[in-house]
Amino acid sequence: MTDITTEKARIGAPSAQPFINGFTEEGESLSPLNAAESKSPLAGEAVKRHSHGGGVGVPDSSRAGRLTSYKLADFKPLTGMEEDWRFTPLKRLRGLHADVLNGAAPSVAVTGPDSVRVETVGRDDARIGSAAIPEDRVSANAWENFTEATVITVPAEVQAEGEVSVVLTGQGTGASAQHVVIVAEKFSKAVVVLDHQGTAVVSENIEILVEDGAQLTVISLQEWNDDAVHASSQQAKLGRDAKFKHIVVSLGGDLVRVTPSTRFTAPGAEAEMFGLYFADAGQHLEQRLFVDHAVANCKSNVLYKGALQGRNAHTVWVGDVLIRKEAEGTDTYEANRNLVLTDGARADSVPNLEIETGLIAGAGHASATGRFDDEHLFYLMARGIPEKVARRLVVRGFLNEIIQQIKVPAIEERLTAAVERELAATEN
């Protein structure tokens, strides 16, 4: 790809500055007020009923200072001017940010190994709120409105054979709220697939608890119908030596906005966060992730790749990585790469790395948006490869790096086929 801008930075040397020049494109810096704030917005029951951060007079500039609350009323109505909503066309949210979410929520069908427990519980279940707290109005709106939750538990030390499949099927266009809790208990191991299908207008909260020594993979597939609107907050809380892999795949839907986060609460944990998105004409696919290095000696690695084609295809990737003062020995890298296949498509890519301690093993980011370029096409065609095949070869190769991470053969095949369909769609 030519016309690529790539920034790479890895630092190991201590730095006196809380914020290193050139590490964010947005120029966000840490508010001194927030720097002294709590370690984690999730301090347990105590914070459950009131809000944190972003209070009066506190500029919401650092990710550490973002308002978090279980109460919708704590979040001001959206105007579209907010930093975390500035790319989202609010009109197309179809009420997820403003209406009471009382439409029928997508149905939930869970299949998988017998060793994994599946329950449907009411709002008062103790596990609700154990891993997540809303960070924006749409998520809080779902929290306020969901009627029942699905809780999936991988019991301690269980190694679940085969994946746990959670099929969420949309029930129409009434604005709705969904809640799912996934708990990987100590030293368990499992793969959970959230499979979003059909037509829905839904705000969803997914809580993910990865306890000490557990290894959990969560794959969230968005293969909605064209008219679906989906906001999904997927928050993971990691215990000591936990290993968490999160993969977001957004292909279908009119507007899909996924906000995954990983919070480290004890040392020795590792998180990998991958994403793949393919936006067609008119689609808005947004992903905003957050990695909160709140404790020492944890690792994170983030890679999101997107392809875009057609008029007004729009993708947004924002990657916030926060290395707090306590998080010495952190090793983190985040990258986003976009491949723009046609004119009229737009990819926004914003990596934000905030570093409050210099005593880290490494921290870096890269962001690149390239066009599928005439020189690539010429080279491949000069070897006899027809134009259509050449395009497929490039896009398939580009996205395959993420698909390979899934390691569930049936899903890998399904996604490869889905990408082929996306490519075939523009050729007509």
Partner 1 sequence: MSTLEIKDLHVSIDTEQGTKEILKGVSLTIKTGQTHAIMGPNGSGKSTLASTIAGHPRYNVTSGTITLDGEDVLAMSVDERARAGLFLAMQYPVEVPGVSMTNFLRTAKTAIDGEAPKLRTWTKDVKAAMAQLRIDADFTQRNVNEGFSGGEKKRVEILQLELFKPKFAILDETDSGLDVDALKVVSEGVNRAHAEGNMGTLLITHYTRILRYIKPEFVHVFVDGKVVEEGGPELADRLEEEGYDRYLPGAGAATIAAADAAAQA
Q: DSSP letters along 354-404, please?
A: EES-S--SEEEEEEEEEE--HHHHHHHHTTT--HHHHHHHHHHHHHHHHHT
Contact status: 276 vs partner 1 (CB under 8 A): no
Could you tell me the two tokens for 32?
């001194």
Q: Which stretch binds partner 1 (CB under 8 A): 56-64, 169-177, 383-391, 419-427?
A: 383-391
Minimum gap (Å) between residue 3 Cβ and partner 1 = 12
Q: Please report whether residue 16 would count as binding partner 1 according to CB under 8 A.
A: no
Q: Which is nearer to partner 1, 83 or 374 (CB)?
A: 374
Q: Which of 70, 244, 333, 398 binds partner 1 (CB under 8 A)?
A: 398
Instruction: Measure CA 242 to chain center.
Output: 19
| 413 belongs to the binding site for partner 1 (CB under 8 A) | no
Interaction of residue 91 with partner 1, rule CB under 8 A: no
Whether 85 contacts 78, CB under 8 Å = yes
374 near partner 1 (CB under 8 A): yes
Stretch that binds partner 1, among 102-110, 202-210, 247-255, 381-389 (CB under 8 A): 381-389
Q: Does 394 bind partner 1 (CB under 8 A)?
A: yes
User: Which of 27, 122, 344, 386 touches partner 1 (CB under 8 A)?
Assistant: 386
CB of 73 to partner 1, least distance (A): 47
> CB-wise, 70 or 372, nearer to partner 1?
372
| Contacting partner 1 within 130-189 (CB under 8 A) | none
Nearer to partner 1, 197 or 400 (CB): 400
Does the footprint of partner 1 cover residue 45 (CB under 8 A)?
Answer: no
Q: Rule CB under 8 A: choose which of 123, 376, 407, 414 binds partner 1.
A: 376
Q: Phi and psi of 98, rounded to 5°?
A: -130, -35
Can residue 306 be called a binding residue for partner 1 (CB under 8 A)? no
| Residue 175 CB partners (closer than 8 Å, separation 6+) | 94, 95, 96, 99, 100, 101, 102, 103, 201, 202, 203
Residue pair 155/117 in contact (Cβ under 8 Å)? The answer is yes
Beta-bridge mates of residue 319 = 289, 351
CA distance 149 to 138: 17
* Alpha-carbon span 315 to 87, nearest angstrom: 9
Max distance between CA atoms of the chain, in angstroms, equals 66
Name which position in 157, 401, 413, 420 contacts partner 1 (CB under 8 A): 401
- Summarize as ranges the residues that interact with partner 1 (CB under 8 A): 1, 339, 370, 374-376, 378-387, 389-390, 393-401
